[in-house]
């Protein structure tokens, strides 16, 4: 292996691991970092992915990123939430990401959905149920991101061996 391969290999591994960490740390974009790590590893002499495989992984990363953004809102709706709750959840996701990381991404959608439901006139139990749905949606998105990052890492290990 050349020095360039060693540097790219180290950078690729850092990208893969940072992506996995980004599944739970909101300051890091998990799946995109794992994908970037995979692409970096592709440029070494040790690992080679087909163009089709790289495109399919990119599509998977984009989909899971979009789904992760939408799941708290969908969870809120599935548990009886209103438009006010969905908006509160959305505002909570944004506020939690920018103002209160990392715990804000868990708490702010929950609080935002709850406040939105209270504003819409729902009583405390129904507002709590809808907010809980938002929290479940967030957790489902986190699991989905971790699965995609884990599969990317698994595929890199599989090709490396």
Residue 149 pLDDT: 97
DSSP of 50-108, one letter per residue?
A: -HHHHHHHHHHHHHHHHHHHHHHHHHHHHTT--HHHHHHHHHHHHHHHHHSTTTHHHHH
**Banded pLDDT at 156 (limits 50, 70, 90):** very high
Average pLDDT, the chain: 89
Residue 65 pLDDT: 92
* pTM for this entry: 0.79
Domain boundaries, the chain: 3-160
Please indicate whether residue 22 or residue 35 has the higher confidence score (pLDDT): 35
Please say if the pLDDT value at position 151 is more than 90: yes
**Can you state the percent helix, strand and coil of the chain, rounding each to 5?**
80, 0, 20
């Amino acid at each position: 292996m050349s020095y360039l391969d060693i540097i790219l290999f180290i950078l690729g591994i850092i990208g893969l691991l940072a992506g996995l960490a980004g599944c739970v740390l909101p300051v890091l974009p998990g799946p995109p970092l794992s994908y970037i790590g995979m692409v970096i590893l592709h440029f070494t002499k040790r690992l080679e992915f087909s163009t089709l495989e790289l495109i399919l992984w990119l599509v998977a990363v984009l989909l899971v990123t979009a789904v992760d953004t939408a799941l708290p809102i969908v969870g809120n709706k599935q548990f009886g939430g209103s438009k006010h709750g969905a908006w509160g959840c959305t505002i909570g996701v944004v506020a939690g990401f920018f103002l209160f990381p990392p715990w804000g991404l868990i708490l702010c959608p929950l609080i935002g959905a709850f406040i939105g439901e209270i504003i819409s006139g729902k009583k405390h139990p129904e507002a709590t149920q809808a907010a809980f749905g938002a929290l479940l949606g967030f957790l489902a998105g986190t699991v989905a991101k971790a699965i995609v990052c884990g599969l990317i890492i698994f595929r890199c290990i599989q090709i490396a061996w």
